[in-house]
Amino acid sequence: MPTITLPTEAERAAVDTTGFTWSNSEPGNLTKAHGALVKLITDQLASGEGVKVLSPGRGTGKTPKFIVENSTNGADLKIVMKDNFADNKADTVAEANKTGPYSTFVNATTKANVNVLLGSIDNVYLQDMNGVIGWTLGETDVTYTNTTTSAVMQTLDTASMPTPFADLTDEEIAAQVANDINVDFHTKEELLNKDDAKLDGGGSDKFIPDVVMFCPAPQLTSTYLQLDGDAATRADAWLKRELSCTLHRLFTQLPVGGVLIYDKIHFERVNGALQDALAKLDSATYDSCLYNNTEADYTGAYQSMAIKKLA
């Protein structure tokens, strides 16, 4: 069981970030301010313990590299980064429609370019979601399929509003958390480092991280999906509920003592979903702290959060 004490915001703010091994030219969403929190938590991990990094559509390798180069036992941790690392993602409609800074991640998230950024680091393993889940968009529904088994994993009725997360029963939340499309069905056999070496030599066991880092994709909006009117309203509601489900999903995967680190919580969609999700957790099962305030006197918005699993 990991032994982690959540730092205070004052302790995070006091970290000397000028001493970081860091390159401003490397693509990635990690900031030095958030990196200070990451370091304070991952410094407490022992050799052989694990970290999972989730930054959908922006998995460049910058955060895992930061952990390896700046954490006390960084070179001896097991770090898994989950994303779609395929080439030619810009050929898809969704990627072609990206604008602004997120468009820069299209090429930076290919397996080849991630490995270039990681260089000689060999304790970072990629969980490649390329081709794992297929989806088809109908007039009123979206169907997700396991491309390996061809089994239908989930069908969503996009013609109707979802039941808000706050109104779901505990049983309904548990069903969402356990749904095949959401659980990590990859084993260590599929987690490969730069040399295609398998995590712990492979096998049928799943990777259980001690720390999970999650950076939601703030660009995933109804506008990004090219929706408007009632369709956009429904999509926003589905996306918000999915973000709430994601927190419960990740919290469930943690061992007791493990920590979930959230970034970008100052975005309205993320913040609202986070509050809905926490309201459904038993307060006796977790501790939490807010971090990375936008103002030195703490009058601004907090941008990060850490949640420690107590039971």
CA Rg value for the chain: 19
Reply yes or no on whether the pLDDT at 10 is more than 80: yes
Reply yes or no on whether the pLDDT at 144 is more than 90: no
Report which of residues 264 and 159 the model is more confident about: 264
Is 247 inside a domain boundary? Answer: no
Instruction: Report H helices in the chain.
Output: 9-13, 32-42, 62-70, 93-96, 105-108, 111-118, 170-178, 229-253, 268-279
* Average pLDDT over every residue of 102-126: 87
Average pLDDT, the chain: 88
Is 142 inside a domain boundary? Answer: no
The whole domain housing 112 covers 9-130+183-227+253-309
* Average pLDDT over every residue of 132-139: 69
Query: Where is average pLDDT lowest: 10-24, 88-102, 187-201, 252-266?
Result: 88-102
Closest CA to 131 of 113, 144, 143, 147: 147
Q: Tell me which H or E stretch contains 137.
A: strand 133-137
Query: Where is average pLDDT lowest: 31-35, 45-49, 99-103, 264-268?
Result: 99-103
Q: How many domains does the chain have?
A: 1
* Average pLDDT over every residue of 153-163: 79
Question: Which pair of tokens denotes residue 228?
Answer: 């408007």
Is 1 inside a domain boundary? Answer: no
Give phi and psi for 218, each to the nearest 5.
Answer: -65, -15
Is 113 inside a domain boundary? Answer: yes
Is 93 inside a domain boundary? Answer: yes
Is 167 inside a domain boundary? Answer: no
Residue 90 to residue 66: CA distance in whole angstroms: 27
**CATH code, domain with 222:** 3.40.50
Residue 207 to residue 188: CA distance in whole angstroms: 6
* Average pLDDT over every residue of 32-41: 98
pTM recorded for the entire structure: 0.90
Given the structure tokens 């938590």, which residue do they identify?
A: 41
